[in-house]
């Protein structure tokens, strides 16, 4: 025998109810079918009863809608010759319901007994329809079998009265039985009661246990027990197999697939629970048994949450070492009807935090303050503290006990994403770790935990790009072309969720922007600029967020500290921040380190060349940088490599601009300050405290050319051509070439034009290439050489992309 339970969505429409018929009739008999009310009907009944109690006659409109819905369901699924008898039964029940509601309206009072009677009509109606629809089905009123008793104001199943009745009812082994779930009756008075919202699952479990069923199947509207709520985490997927313990923990903390009390009766009889999808019966679904399916390197099977939590904290020195304090705490709360679903106690016993439902928070505080009134008056205890607007997350998996560091990983990943844990609980069985966080951070916390414990198919990183000039545009194109490959090969999903341009507006999409059409989307947008972008990033509060600066703007660099403070990693092509005052540079590095995020700026020097990372690796491994000698301006290297008898100096500068190597105003490259900033950054990353003003700079063109307008600069520049050509010829004869060299040695730095002999490594670098020589304690005799493209939008964008990947690999 099997017991099949179908929820409200499964019986909510003619199509879904017809699917129920097909599933039941295809199941090996005998079978017991338990159905909920039609989807939404229980809420409608509660709403009508409250309206009637308030004297609102509009409940009759709701009632008419209820009648019409059930009549339409009968017309849609029941064959014509069976309709009259069924409609007669339904109308009789509906007439009784209307009379009860009219009585409530008349006296404007709704007792618990009457409320229970009203909500029972949903299952009473739906079970009659289902029993008529399914071929050969027999209908049994669940109230004749499921008996309850009163405990602490709640209806609790009386198994001594229930199980014998079930045994008698099924002694003849009927082929198909249909019953309504949720509803029951008092064991002594026979008055209608219920098992609480979600109680239809419980009804099915009670029947399965009493009948020693082969299996309990719960048919719902999802493909199984999910690793997390798919409405919050789209990448959540069904758990193929989990244990009773894991299922109980997940249900207790908000997973709504199974009503928590459902598990115990079948667990006691070792009856498997199958979670199946009425709308996708071919799906594998989930099975709950004694053993979980332990997956290698995956200690966690699922994550669930209680979205609304209040935390009540009892504290005081008198609690330390005093026997019976916890008994008093839980005793007074029990008497007040307050249920506690999580407890966190300090090791000193000086405080105990209790997680309760928000509606119970104040009542819990009042009960505790009353219980400990004497101690509070003596100053030995503090008044109960209530913290609201919290949420509780449970990370569940029996594999946690065999994988060291699971708890550490959880706290680390939450902290790195700026999520503070207010309270935590981990039992000695190590199958569930629960934490309390601020409710506004719940979505972010769930996503980052789901991602970090490899429950998602892919790790995700959310990227915000500021600036869509040549570098920004090329970066977007590179990400777009690589997204599929990264997802397939690296299991990494790069979501560009924000793009902002000072002149073209901004676009933000939580699920990722369509990069193939981002330019069109930007033209239709508004609200560009860094201030608006920072506010939007903080407001979106996405996990694993990275801010990418593809501008050269000071105001954008000024936003880094705030972003880092909100646990958002920063990747900068903009060298303003790293070359700013040393105090600011150090503050940014420290903030990133303290927040557990990244501040990366590899492309500040050498575009895509691995210069800064190489220095970081050397220093981190205990080496010491003794000197740096480098050609760091791709623009100037291009100029001096292009300079020839046919191409004068002024033309070489113009070509550098046309090829995109120089800044729009080439004087920003020719004045050497760009190289000053770069050597400053390298010296700082090597461990030296240096300012840009400490670097000696030698100009190779008259200072007057830097003072006028750009137009005047271009007019005056050809006057230098003859002198440069004469000097170039002299250099060529001597077998030398010009290179604009940056040096750091013995705590001093300089930049300037130098004549390089043919045997020097700098002599043969071509085009816009950069080259860096690192002399260290380990590489003293043979310095380390790094060489390659040092300018250009494509290679710079590639370097930025590489930094984004480094953030993803944290």
Residues annotated as catalytic (active site), given as ranges: 678
What residues does 151 pair with on adjacent strands?
154
CA 460 vs CA 463, 492, 498: distances in Å: 10, 6, 15
Residue 160 and residue 171 in contact, taking contact as beta carbons nearer than 8 Å:
no
What distances in angstroms separate CA 708 from CA 652, 662, 705, one per listed residue?
20, 19, 6
CA atoms within 13 A on the CB side of 212: 3
How far is Cα 324 from Cα 516, in angstroms, rounded to an integer? 66
Give the phi and the psi of residue 794 in degrees, each rounded to 5. -65, -50
DSSP of 433-489: EEEEEEGGGHHHHHHHHHHHTT-SSSEEEEEEEE--SHHHHHHHHHHHHHHHHIIII
Give the DSSP letter of residue 294: P
Place of tokens 């990747």: 571
Q: Report d(CA 497, CA 510) in Å as an integer.
A: 6
β-sheet bridge partners, residue 741: 752
Crossing angle of helices 159-169 and 199-210, rounded to 10°: 70
Q: In Å, what is the CA distance from 315 to each residue of 338, 375, 377, 383, 421? A: 19, 11, 14, 8, 19
Q: Encoding tokens for residue 413? A: 């990943």
Reference 546, options 506, 508, 496, 591; nearest CA is: 496
Based on C-alpha coordinates, what's the Rg of the chain?
36
| Closest by CA position to 250, among listed 239, 308, 206, 359 | 239
Asked if residues 508 and 543 have their Cβ atoms less than 8 Å apart, the reply is no
**Contact indicator for 755, 738 with CB cutoff of 8 Å:** yes
Cα–Cα distance measured from residue 452 to residue 411, given in angstroms and rounded to the nearest whole number? 11
In angstroms, what CA-CA distances link 363 with 109, 127, 266, 596, 669? 24, 39, 35, 40, 70
Q: How far apart, in Å, are the Cα atoms of 376 and each of 329, 373, 384? A: 14, 5, 10
Say if residues 435 and 311 touch (Cβ distance below 8 Å). Answer: no
Q: Dig out the tokens for 458 from the structure.
A: 């892919």
CA distance 177 to 170: 9
Please give the Cα distance from 750 to 297 (Å, whole number).
52
Q: Supply the DSSP string of 83-131, one letter for each residue.
A: HHHHHHHHHHHHHHHHHHHHHHHHHT---HHHHHHHHTHHHHHHHHHHH
Residue closest to 178 by CA, chosen among 218, 239, 133, 119: 133
CB 640 within 8 A of CB 752: no
Q: Structure tokens of 285?
A: 């679904």
C-alpha–C-alpha distance, residues 240 and 26, integer Å? 23
Q: Which two tokens stand for residue 809?
A: 């690999």
- Identify the CA nearest to 584 among candidates 548, 557, 555: 557
């Amino acid at each position: 025998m099997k017991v099949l339970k179908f929820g409200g969505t499964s019986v909510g429409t003619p199509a879904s109810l017809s699917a129920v018929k097909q599933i039941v009739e295809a199941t090996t008999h005998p079978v017991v079918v338990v159905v909920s009310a039609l989807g939404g009907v229980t809420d409608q009944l509660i709403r009508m009863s409250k309206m009637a109690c308030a004297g609102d006659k509009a409940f009759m409109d709701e009632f008419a809608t209820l009648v019409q819905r059930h009549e339409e369901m009968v017309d849609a699924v029941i064959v014509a010759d069976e309709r009259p008898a069924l409609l007669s039964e339904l109308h009789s029940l509906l007439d009784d319901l209307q009379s009860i509601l009219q009585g409530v309206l008349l006296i404007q009072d709704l007792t618990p007994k009457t409320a229970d009677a009203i909500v029972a009509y949903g299952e009473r109606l739906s079970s009659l329809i289902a029993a008529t629809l399914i071929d050969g089905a027999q209908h049994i009123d669940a109230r004749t079998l499921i008996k309850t008793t009163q405990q602490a104001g709640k209806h609790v199943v009386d198994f001594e009265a229930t199980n014998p009745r079930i045994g008698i009812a099924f002694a003849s082994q009927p082929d198909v039985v249909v019953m309504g779930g949720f509803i029951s009756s008092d064991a002594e008075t026979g008055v209608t009661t219920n098992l609480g919202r979600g109680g239809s699952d419980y009804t099915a479990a009670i029947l399965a246990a009493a009948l020693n069923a082969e299996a309990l199947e719960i048919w719902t509207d999802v493909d199984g027990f999910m690793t997390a709520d798919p409405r919050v985490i789209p990448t959540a997927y069904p758990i193929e197999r989990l244990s009773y313990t894991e299922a109980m923990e997940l249900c207790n903390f908000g997973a709504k697939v199974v009503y928590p009390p459902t598990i115990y009766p079948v667990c006691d009889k070792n009856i498997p629970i199958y979670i199946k999808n009425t709308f996708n019966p071919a799906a594998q679904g989930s099975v709950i048994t004694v053993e979980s399916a332990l997956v290698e390197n995956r200690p966690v099977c699922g994550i669930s949450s209680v979205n609304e939590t209040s935390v009540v904290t009892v504290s005081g020195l008198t609690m330390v070492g005093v026997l019976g304090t916890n008994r008093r705490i839980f005793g007074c709360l029990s008497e007040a009807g307050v249920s506690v679903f999580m407890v966190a106690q300090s090791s000193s016993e000086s405080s105990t935090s209790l997680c309760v439902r928000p509606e119970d928070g104040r009542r819990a505080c009042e009960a505790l303050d009353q219980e400990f009134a004497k101690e509070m008056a003596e100053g030995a205890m503090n008044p109960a503290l209530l913290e609201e607007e919290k949420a509780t997350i449970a990370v569940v998996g029996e594999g946690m006990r065999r994988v060291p560091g699971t708890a550490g990983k959880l706290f680390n990943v939450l902290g790195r994403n700026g999520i503070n844990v207010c309270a935590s609980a981990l039992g000695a069985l190590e199958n569930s770790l629960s934490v309390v966080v601020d409710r506004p951070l719940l979505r972010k916390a769930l996503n980052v935990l789901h991602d970090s414990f490899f429950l998602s198919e892919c790790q995700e990183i959310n990227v915000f790009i500021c600036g869509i000039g040549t570098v920004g545009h090329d970066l977007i194109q590179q990400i777009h072309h690589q997204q599929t490959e990264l997802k397939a090969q690296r299991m990494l999903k790069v979501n560009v969720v924000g793009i902002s341009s000072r002149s073209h507006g901004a676009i933000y999409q939580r699920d990722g922007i369509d990069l193939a059409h981002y330019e069109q989307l930007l033209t239709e947008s508004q609200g560009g600029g860094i201030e608006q972008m920072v506010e939007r990033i903080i407001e979106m509060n996405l996990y694993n967020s990275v801010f990418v600066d593809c501008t050269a703007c000071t105001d954008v660099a000024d936003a880094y500290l705030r972003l880092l403070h909100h646990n958002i990693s920063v990747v900068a092509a903009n060298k303003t921040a790293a070359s700013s005052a040393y105090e600011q540079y150090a503050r940014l590095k420290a903030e990133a380190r303290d927040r557990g995020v990244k501040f990366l700026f590899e492309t500040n020097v050498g575009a895509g060349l691995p210069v800064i990372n190489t220095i970081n690796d050397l220093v981190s491994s205990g080496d010491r940088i003794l000197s740096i000698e480098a050609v760091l301006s791709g623009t100037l290297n291009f100029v001096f490599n292009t300079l020839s008898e046919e191409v004068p100096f002024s033309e070489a500068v113009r070509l550098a601009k046309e090829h995109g190597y120089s800044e729009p105003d080439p004087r920003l490259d020719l004045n050497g300050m760009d190289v000053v900033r770069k050597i400053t950054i390298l010296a700082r990353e090597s461990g030296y405290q240096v300012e840009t003003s400490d670097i000696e700079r030698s100009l190779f063109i008259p200072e007057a050319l830097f003072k006028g307008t750009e137009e005047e600069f271009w007019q005056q520049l050809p006057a230098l051509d003859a002198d440069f050509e004469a000097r170039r010829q002299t250099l060529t004869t001597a077998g030398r070439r010009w290179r604009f060299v940056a040096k750091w040695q013995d705590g001093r730095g300089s930049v300037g034009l130098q004549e390089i002999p043919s045997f020097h490594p700098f002599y043969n670098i071509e085009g816009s290439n950069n080259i860096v020589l690192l002399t260290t304690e380990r590489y003293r005799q043979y310095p380390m050489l790094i060489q390659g493209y040092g300018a250009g939008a494509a290679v710079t964008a590639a370097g930025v992309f590489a930094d984004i990947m480094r953030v993803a690999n944290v």
